[in-house]
Structure 1
Amino acid sequence: MKGKNLGAQALLLNINPRAFYSACGCHSLNLTVCDMAKTCGKAKDFFGIIQRIYTTFANSTKKWKILKDNIGDGLTLKSVSSTRWESHINSVKAIRFQISDIRKALLQVADVDKDPKTSSEAKSLANNELGDFEFVVAIIIWYDILAAVNLISKDLQSKDMLIDVAIEKVQGLITFFKGYRDTGFTTAVEIAREIALEIDIDPAFRKKREIKRKKQFDENPDDVLDASQSAQESFRINYFLPVVDQAIASLTTRFEQYKSYEKTFGFLFTSHALNSLDDKNLRSSCSSLETALRSGDKSDIDGNDLYVELKLLQDFIPKEKNMGPIDILNFLKRLNCFPNATIAYRILLTIPVTVALAERSFSKLKLLKSYLRSTMTQERLSGLTLIAIENDILENVSYEELIEEFISRNARRMSRFC
């Protein structure tokens, strides 16, 4: 069952779509980036600066032409999305790889624009933001982070994504952030220094003015904080580490539901995982799955029967090939003698990784339920919604056969009344 089918069922059964969002991987990634952007004041200000740069050029066609003349056929500036945080990669990428050209365009706008406010804004962005080494380091860090998150988000939205593959990708993303926490900052600083030399700015972190205070007579020198902490180390501790640590914590917390899926269905993910279980562990896994699928006094499967079927299936499945859940389900259909195992694998394959397609299904309502169709019945609305959602299946339907069947039914009805 695909994501759009889930959305269609929820829509036709009058189920709140938020019930499907709790397990959506893309929503969880989106909220993870949102959490990262709120970790500290500098992280919040960063995306505000990105939006200010875009707004400066987008306010008029003349300023946009100045931008295009400087970047040529390069990446176009994008507005910062207020909802899809992982799509911020498009806004950051254009500045990350064209910071020199964009800075020149801002200085040119500051020179030619007659509006003092606009001229001052453009000059401030060129000198104070793009001319600040901290901002250059920050844009490299955020590009690395958003590129990794966006890559996984795109993969999770694929139609054939399975829950076991999604778990591996999310675990890989967590591993990436753990490694990036150790080496990412040093690499970002080195790249930022090369860019700083290219755009002719000081490749050093801005030192804050040291606040002098009166020393108390009974004060222990060991209790005083180390005032000699470098500006670079301060940036790493107060900016870089909170953002990356928040990413690791959010991913671990928001994808905790995936761990419960893995604990319940993990022994069914691959043929190698199934064959690796001994009798005791296999029986325990079947019993746990029966309990998880139980509702009241009824369960979708019988744990003891499932154990017998899977024990026999271990001898049927080829040992040299590692089969996935779809391959195993097709194998079971050909044999047609493993009812409980077939149900278990069907349930496994219906777990939604993402509901991006389901969201698009709900968006069909505003196209169908218009003011001109205010008196539409529920049956007609459900029919039109199903047609709109499953339009790819509808393209393969033979209309001529349906028309002929409809005419033949009417002809029989007419002869009955005559």
Structure 2
Amino acid sequence: MKHNQLSGHQKRQKKLKAAEVEKLQMGSLDKFFGKKTTNSGDIGETETKEPETQNLKDGLVENNVEETEKEISDVSINYDPGTWKKIDQWLRDSLVRKGPIRIILEHFPKDSRNRHFSSVHYTRILPNGDKQDRKWLVYSLSTNKVFYFCCMLFKHDVAKTNFAEDGIDDWHNLAAKLRSHESSNGHLVNMSPWIKLEVWMEKNETIDKIEQDRIKKEIEHWKKVLVRIIAVVQTLVCNNLAFRGDEEKIGKRKNGLFCKFIEMLAQFDPIMEEHVRLVKEGTLHTHYLSHKIQNDLIMALANEIKDSIIKKILEARYFSVILDCTPDKSRVEQMSLVIRCVDITLSPIKVEEFFIQFVIVDDTSGFGLFSKLEEVLGDLGLDIDDVRGQAYDNGANMKGKHKGVQKRLLDVNPRAFYTPCGCHSLNLVLYDMANCCSKGSNFFWGYTKIIHIVFIFNTAMGNSQEIC
């Protein structure tokens, strides 16, 4: 009886293949386009741009293309030929500009007949014994097939083959099929536009040169717009000002400080003036002024600042942690994390305290808070063994000598010296002093307690003041 489930070996091969595909696509947003070198001549032996080689075993990419001015692609491109189902003009130009990417593995995946592709097929043996690099031959990790780069991008109805449509995985007869296809008229027909397009791109003389220039100008325009929007976000964040008002549309009366700053810039800056004009006319739907974009920019700036702070802490190596917990307006317990270290990037060197983040905690016991602290330090890439000081309030869950946070941290790192909070210690002293006087005790435990209760159970500050 035939089993439908895969064997252990097949599962491992499938997992390895998936990992290789994921590694190939990693960092696709950061791909750059470089300058290519082409030599015109006979189509059969013309040297096109050297294919980029990806060695997944060593995790290295050998790029034989001379990199010139780099342009960041706004859309992620998958360079696996097995995923090129619908090729439009933009994708074709991008792939030709990048060139074929060559996959070299120590062990290629095997098929059901225990056969696999070999890197030997990347080289063509001519009748006179000379060797020629098959720059047009590309291997797909996702489908375990080979394709012809030029035939996929410039295929014609009269020259469609498996190398351009479904790919070839007949590894036993692959060499013969490669020789047969390379001598066919269809292959030569598809090679010609590939070489011409590379030459045109080299000289910046493509047919759609005007359209490409327009796209470049539009990219530069959006970069300038985003720089100004980010500057507005930075100004509001640094001054702790509210972003939004009752409305979010440009031109409205109560649209908040963010929109007001954008409108003010439009009065003096021609770039923002044009941007605001298009937004008001309704002809521009992607304007990067919504509250979602504001939140994304705030988070991006916050992460950038946090990374720079963590870099300073790592350079100093040793640091102290300061924790405090308090419920927010929604009664959710939050722990604030502050790290104190020596900032060696300044001149002269000085001790600095950096607020890192708020952490929501569900368990306020000594064990729960210590576990959360240990987790957060691990996420930040900081070693708990490098802690040289800890400062908390005098709560039992923090300073407890048996189960408090300071005791649990000392058990892990005996060098983390504990210092109680001076302000909280002074508060406890005043508390004991007030208890010694009956009038003072009545005042603190009478009137102030009533006022405290009123403010807690009345969310609106104005209503609380009226009641008082």
After TM superposition, is the score higher than 0.5?
no
TM range (shorter): under 0.3
TM-score of the pair, normalised by structure 2: 0.19
Higher fraction of helix: 1
**Over alpha carbons, which structure has the higher Rg?**
2
Q: 1 or 2, which has the higher strand percentage?
A: 2
Q: Which has the higher contact order (CA 8 A, sep 6+)?
A: 1
